[in-house]
Structure 1
């Protein structure tokens, strides 16, 4: 058994033992959880467990299916449909770009702008066929330094479109790869790359009221930032309002 598969099994056991602590939102149609890093969303080669399988077992609902996906190493808010109505409602909102997804990303390097939108067409990274226009909004929260005076920037990231690996590819395009994302050129190491879906807003099927959930930042994200020195606060309010796992 590989170390990564062993870790995914440990995560599965943690979820099964304390499911309520992972739940961010629940109604008859939808379940939103704070996904830990290290477990794949769906059955994957090399892994004996997946988050979908764990939640199906824990909720005794074989119809439970993900409404969208996060990479195995990405943590944070993710929604599952418990019913066909729930999945259909979420699918409609994704098509219409009604869902707001905000991430935190720690990147290696200094952010040179106040805020901005990146919208390149990157063939083969974001779209495996011809490449599609994709847009991501970035806003800096804080800048850090490590003991060797390497610079890091904590970014608030908003997905304006939803392509595969979009945030990771766009930051690599800017030559600011996410910390520990070796696939996209990061020279820094950690137990996982530091990308977290922090906030998610959507309309549940049973209500026209928008629901906003906040996923506390994972401990394995914090262990990296805790070892850095805050060099500059671009957005002190955002920095000090972040919610962390206990």
Structure 2
């Protein structure tokens, strides 16, 4: 079964993946990366803010939205390689990358694995260790798999997949792959400590991990060690920053105007 689409984007073949890509606006290029079980469409309410001064590239990552799955694990590192290859394919040069949740992990891996691809990075709702997430969140993640597909019917994630996916019947397979990815232990503390790309660590004040974890990540980047000074001379040397957005959760962070305003304030700093 193949779903028909009337979306305004196009496809780019990179690393064996037929990636769906949309480009909006003009200006300095900015790649927006969506969360798990979502697609680039999730940023539609904020797109006018992002496209005011930027050329925005929306990517549907492997197995998500209008990009069909391929025969490999759903691994953020592999998807990061896809994004870097796409930037090269499009001839965009160093780009700003903004990612949320799963897309934030992919964005972080782009900066770690392909630093020359990224001008500035915004990583939103991205713990750098698996055990940083609340225990109840880890317990919920253990339930993600094909068996949950029936229970997800009627949810926005299921509706989106059925509406736009090239193979809507692959939804249980996607859940299995996401479940397998979530079960993998990870700790990229040292990789983050070595980041050379100016990075904004962003989170909601009621996210999947406590605010203190994101403060800890900021500390890995040299933040929070001293007073910033009258002219900012005490800020982290790499140009890194931290934002804990008030009154938000993991689930509404990336649809809040605060998300766009905070990301753009960091990206447009120079």
TM-score (norm 1): 0.29
- Point out the structure with the larger strand share: 1
- Point out the structure with the larger helix share: 2
TM-score (norm 2): 0.27
